[in-house]
Structure formats: C-alpha cells, structure tokens
Amino acid sequence: MLTGSIVALVTPLTKHGNIDYNELEELVNFHVESGTDAIVAVGTTGESTTLSHEEHIDVVAAIVELADGRIKVIGGNGSNSTSEAVQLTEKMTHFGVDGFLNVTPYYNKPSVEGLIAHFAACAEASDKPQILYNVPGRTALDMPPEVVERLAEIDNVIGIKEATGDVTRVEELKRRCGNQFILLSGDDPTACEFMLRGGHGVISVSANVVPTQMKALVDAATRGEREKAEKIDAELRELNDALFIESNPIPVKWALALMGKCSANYRLPLTPPSEDSQLVIERALEKLHLLK
C-alpha cells in the first residue's frame, strides 16, 4: 500500500547545476533510517519542471537503485502533454518503481473529458498503481470529487494526493470512491486534520526536514489518536509555514542546507530565498533544534 508518511524528495544539485548523486544517496539513506514509508521521486519538490526528461528518468532510476527495496519509490510521471506523460510512465515502469504520482495537466486547462482521457492513457501505459495529484494552486485546474469518482473506476488508479487544503473533501471522496481508494494529503499545514478525518497519509514537503516527527504524526493521526497527533502538529506548525514562505522547493532546500543535508543549489527560474525568508526558515529550524 502506498500510504503513510511519504516524502516529496528534493533533487540535490551541484553548484554547476548538475544532479548531485552523492547527496541523493545520503538523502535516501536518511529517509530509510528515519522510518519514512515511501519517497516521491521527481515531483514538484524534486524540481521536475527544471529537469530534462532524460534527467528526470535518470534521477528516478537512481532513487530506485539506491532504495534497493528498503523503501517504496513513487515516480512523478506528470506532464501537461499526454504523450510525454505516457512516455515517462512507460520508461519508468521498466526499472521498478512501486507506483506513479500523476499531476493534472497544467497550463492548458483541459475539459473534464480531456482530463479523464489523459489519466486513462497514463494508466493504460503501465500496470503500476497510479495516484492522481490535484494541486490547483499550481496547475490552474481543480479536479473535483465527481471527476475523481469517474477516474477511480480505472483499475490501477488507486488514490489521490489532494493538495487543495480543503479537508472537507475527505468525507466526499470516501463516499464517492470507497474506503479502499487511498486519500493522501498534499498540504502539510492541514495534513493532520485531513488524516484524522480518514485520510491514509501525506505526501509531505516537511518530511524532508523532520522525517521522524512526520512519521509519528501520520501514525497517530491515522490511528485516530487526536490529542497526540495535534500535539506533534502544533510543534511542526512554524516549520510548515516557513517551508512555504516562498515557492516550494526554495525554502526546503535552504532548510536542508542549514542542516547539512543538501546543498542549496537551484535551477533558474528558482533562486535562493530572500534574506527575510532565510531568517524565518532559520528560526523555525532553531526552535526544533535542527541546525547543524
């Protein structure tokens, strides 16, 4: 099952902008040792939009190899071009990913029928499980529960990463899609309540920084232990806010650099955070005793 505490892993880069595979290995080992349930490789947080398709595939392949069966790996296979998404799906299927995370086609804003045809084509390209990804703040396209219900009829469409921050969708998605359809929060600030209402886990940016605490939060919330879950959530609230003070993954990479886990290198148009944002991120890490 692709549930639990799932990290949306950053993609480390060298100062020259190349993939840093040494740091990538360290990050994968960090999450294995911390008890993270799965890794999303080359999603939004992994800077999928700034990597070439060849790099995208190479990084996912490297993470699968580095994981070596110790942790599940979900490959990001989204694109606003159906043919490109299908190509990514076909190529990544062959080297052992455990499933895919497929974002709604961004920018071109397809009709409902176009949206369904897009995901159906990706699902047909592989027998691996497909998780839908709804993030209207980035794609300018919301995928409402009635559309998700239709897509859930596809055999290997097994769940959704719901990143609207609207926790009331949990109940409706359960009603429409059934209890076996996996519901994952894609919004760290509201993930605790999402899971307490019946969600099965989170695909988390904050888990890059606090994997052990995020695992504990997910375990408590999915067991319905509200008091324990809310206590952990309150401890992470300032960090969750700080990691979204600028566009993801700018703040989380900066945080990891301060922790000595990853160099703060980006590809344009992403740039380092402003000085004010740097202070906010540093203060949040300091409160959690995470500074190196």
Annotated binding-site residue? 203: yes
CA atoms of 110 and 103, how far apart (whole Å): 13
Task: Give the span between the Cα atoms of 138 and 224, in whole angstroms.
Answer: 31
Please identify which residue in the block is written with the tokens 């920084």: 209
Considering the candidates 91, 161, 215, 261, report the single residue annotated as catalytic.
Answer: 161
DSSP 17: S
Q: Is 45 annotated as a binding residue?
A: yes
133 belongs to the catalytic site: yes
- Residue type at 264 in one-letter notation: A
Among residues 72, 128, 133, 266, which one is catalytic? 133
Q: Which amino acid is at 4?
A: G
Instruction: Please state at what angle helix 188-196 crosses helix 226-242, rounded to 10 degrees.
Output: 160
> Do residues 167 and 141 make contact, with C-beta atoms less than 8 angstroms apart?
no
95: left (phi over 0), alpha (psi -120 to 50) or beta: alpha
Amino acid at 79: S
Beta carbons within 8 Å of 215's beta carbon, 6+ residues apart? 4, 5, 34, 35, 36, 37, 207
Cis-peptide, bond into residue 145, ω within 30° of zero: no
> Where is the binding site, in residues?
45, 203
Residues with a known catalytic role? 133, 161
